[in-house]
Structure 1
Amino acid sequence: MSDRPDPAEFGLTPSLVDSPAGQAMVWHRPSPRPDDERPPLVLLHGAAGSWSTWSALLRAADSAQIDLGAVLALDAPGWGSSTAVLRRETSIDDIADAVQNAVRSLGFSSARLVGHSMGGLLALHLAARTDSIAASVLALSPSSSGVIAAVDHPVRSLAGGLRELVLLRAGLRVLAPIDRGARSAVRGLQRFGAIRLLAAPLFRHPLRAPRWVMDATAEDLRPRSFTLAADALRGYRIERWKRISCPVAVAVGDRDVFVAPEDLGGLEAVVPQLTATVLTDCGHFPQVERADAVLRLLS
């Protein structure tokens, strides 16, 4: 029996937002304090996620009675409940526009950006834009130099870098033309609990991850969207992050197979106001395996 998260559990209501990449779904709730002047907390999922990526973190915050303020959790174009289908020409800026449009359509001018994996890269990209909405950034296991190198030079990375990412991308590229059928097959595998085995490299303790996390992983895996999002990173230059003027915190798991050893050093070299944290006993999903530590970073 799965305890699959429902947006209503967290008081989240849906709104569709237009962007160059198509319509995105933003799930949002107001701050519990009418006089709260903090920018909203904007949650950005990775290339194999949706708003539900953040359910464990939201549950942990509610359980600990931690006030996160206003919350916006995006289903980026091509994922979750968004109606858009990613196109080959979709760029990182197009997806970033969806985030900014969501924030502004709900009456906010700035945001506390929290991104996971590719969502972490997206948060940093947003913070570096001349029309930035970022008041702060928390990037969890962000896609950075290692991921970009794996996209640009997969054979080289297969030999000496992020092997798991290269193999995952290759497999999903094969499945992308039959996206709908592939997604149905993945959900079928999950009925027998097979996704826990396939997703094991992403977690430090895969057997401890709740069943609903694996259900969400199976539901959110979109071969076509993953492939096109990875392709959009070709030639991306993290040097643009030198323009970031807001505080930035980065947290990575000490057992994260999608973070290259040189990534933190590369980030420290280009991001001006960076605080870096390595979370012990943690894989690629800090918001699931170390929600307590992530909440401390948010505070």
Structure 2
Amino acid sequence: MTAPRWIETGEGPRALVFLHGVSGGAAGAAGLLPAITPAGWRGLAWDMPGYGRSASLPQVDFDSLADALAALLDAAGLARAVLVGHSMGGMLALQVAARHPDRVAGLVLACCTPAFGAQAAALQRDFLARRIGPLDEGASMRDLAIEVIPSMVGPAAEPLVVHEAVDLMAEIPPASYRAAVQALLHFDQRATLGRLRTPTLVLAGRHDTVSRPLVLQRMAERIPGARFAELDAGHLAPFEAPEDFAREVHGFLEGFDHAPVTFLL
């Protein structure tokens, strides 16, 4: 498998990988990545397959995406890394922890859910209608972004955050976006939560109407030893409240000072 493309900052024997959401990309993490990467760490942010500069996969599902992340770790020379996943990226981080547990040193799960596919059929139809319906009716990705992005942020979000998120989503190939949204419908890692033995931080946005804080709190309660925190933000919490997000991630990573990530030979 050809490894996905990534951007990188920092250097050291420990590494974290930022996994973006369905409306994101590595370019959106260019400013965030240096902020969340502590001194002595490598910080990577990928373009999910089909996004940015990464090649598409023949079939898009969470298993194939998890295997693509493992291929990225191989290409970067990393045996293990802390996965910092936002939205769909957080769901993928759970999938990687279940499918490739030896590659995961820690988890930061932000604004995500453990089981999108468990939702009622009516809710799934509504989600598809809002996220794919406009494309079926001839809208562009920019048109769709202008419609959905403002509904994701909290009341204190800076206009620039919305503007940049719209620009980022507008650049996603429609076919890649459709495939990612369809993959979401089949995601369910609830059974994994109680078996996780990986240090885990769960972060919610207080004003998030996509992945509600109570869902994330309950997810954290099911993960042994997980820590839960709530940020004053909406669904785009890492970008709406980057300083608070970085502070939480740094505090979590302090526990890894004596547990370095080893490198592949």
The alpha-carbon deviation at position 168 of structure 1 amounts to: 4.1
Counterpart residue number, 1:204: 154
Does the 8 Å contact 2:3/2:68 carry over to 1? Answer: yes
The alpha-carbon deviation at position 96 of structure 1 amounts to: 0.5
Counterpart residue number, 2:257: none
| Matching of residue 283 in structure 1 with residue 262 in structure 2 | no
Counterpart residue number, 1:11: none
Counterpart CA distance in 1 for 2:99 and 2:36 is 30
1:169 aligned residue (128, 133, 152): 128
Instruction: Give the count of matched residue pairs.
Output: 246
Distance 1:82 1:25, change over 3 A: same
Counterpart CA distance in 1 for 2:87 and 2:73 is 20
Counterpart CA distance in 2 for 1:28 and 1:208 is 25
The 5 A counterparts of 1:98-113 are 98-113=68-83
Letter in 1 for 2:164: W
Does the 8 Å contact 1:75/1:82 carry over to 2? Answer: yes
Counterpart residue number, 1:294: 245
Does the 8 Å contact 2:111/2:205 carry over to 1? Answer: yes
Alpha-carbon displacement from aligned partner over 1:14-54 (angstroms, at most 9, x marks no partner): xxxx2xxxx4522143634xxx221x111111122211232
| Matching of residue 26 in structure 1 with residue 26 in structure 2 | no
Alpha-carbon displacement from aligned partner over 1:250-287 (angstroms, at most 9, x marks no partner): 1010110112454134313421121011112x000111
| Matching of residue 266 in structure 1 with residue 218 in structure 2 | yes
Q: 3-state SS of the aligned residue for 1:81?
A: coil
Q: 3-state SS of the aligned residue for 2:204?
A: strand
Does the 8 Å contact 2:4/2:68 carry over to 1? Answer: no
Counterpart CA distance in 1 for 2:61 and 2:145 is 30
Alpha-carbon displacement from aligned partner over 1:139-186 (angstroms, at most 9, x marks no partner): 1101334x3333xx132x4xxxxxxx86442244446679xx75xx23
Does the 8 Å contact 2:107/2:198 carry over to 1? Answer: yes
Counterpart CA distance in 2 for 1:69 and 1:207 is 29
Percent of residue pairs bearing the same amino acid type = 26
| Matching of residue 186 in structure 1 with residue 141 in structure 2 | yes
Distance 1:104 1:250, change over 3 A: same
| Matching of residue 75 in structure 1 with residue 47 in structure 2 | yes
Unaligned 5+ runs, structure 1? 1-17, 158-164
Distance 1:254 1:265, change over 3 A: closer
Counterpart CA distance in 1 for 2:101 and 2:42 is 22
2:117 aligned residue (123, 148, 159): 148
Counterpart residue number, 2:254: none
The range that moved more, 287-296 or 260-269, is 260-269
Counterpart CA distance in 2 for 1:212 and 1:224 is 21
Distance 1:202 1:30, change over 3 A: closer
1:37 aligned residue (2, 6, 13): 13
The alpha-carbon deviation at position 73 of structure 1 amounts to: 1.4
Distance 1:68 1:239, change over 3 A: farther
Q: TM-score, normalised by structure 2?
A: 0.80
Q: 3-state SS of the aligned residue for 2:219?
A: helix
Q: TM-score, normalised by structure 1?
A: 0.72
Does the 8 Å contact 2:66/2:99 carry over to 1? Answer: no
Letter in 2 for 1:208: P
Letter in 2 for 1:79: Y
Distance 1:172 1:285, change over 3 A: closer
Letter in 1 for 2:10: S
Unaligned 5+ runs, structure 2? 251-265
The alpha-carbon deviation at position 195 of structure 1 amounts to: 4.2
Does the 8 Å contact 1:202/1:285 carry over to 2? Answer: yes
Letter in 1 for 2:54: S
Distance 1:273 1:225, change over 3 A: same
Letter in 2 for 1:231: L
Counterpart CA distance in 1 for 2:241 and 2:136 is 35
The alpha-carbon deviation at position 108 of structure 1 amounts to: 1.1
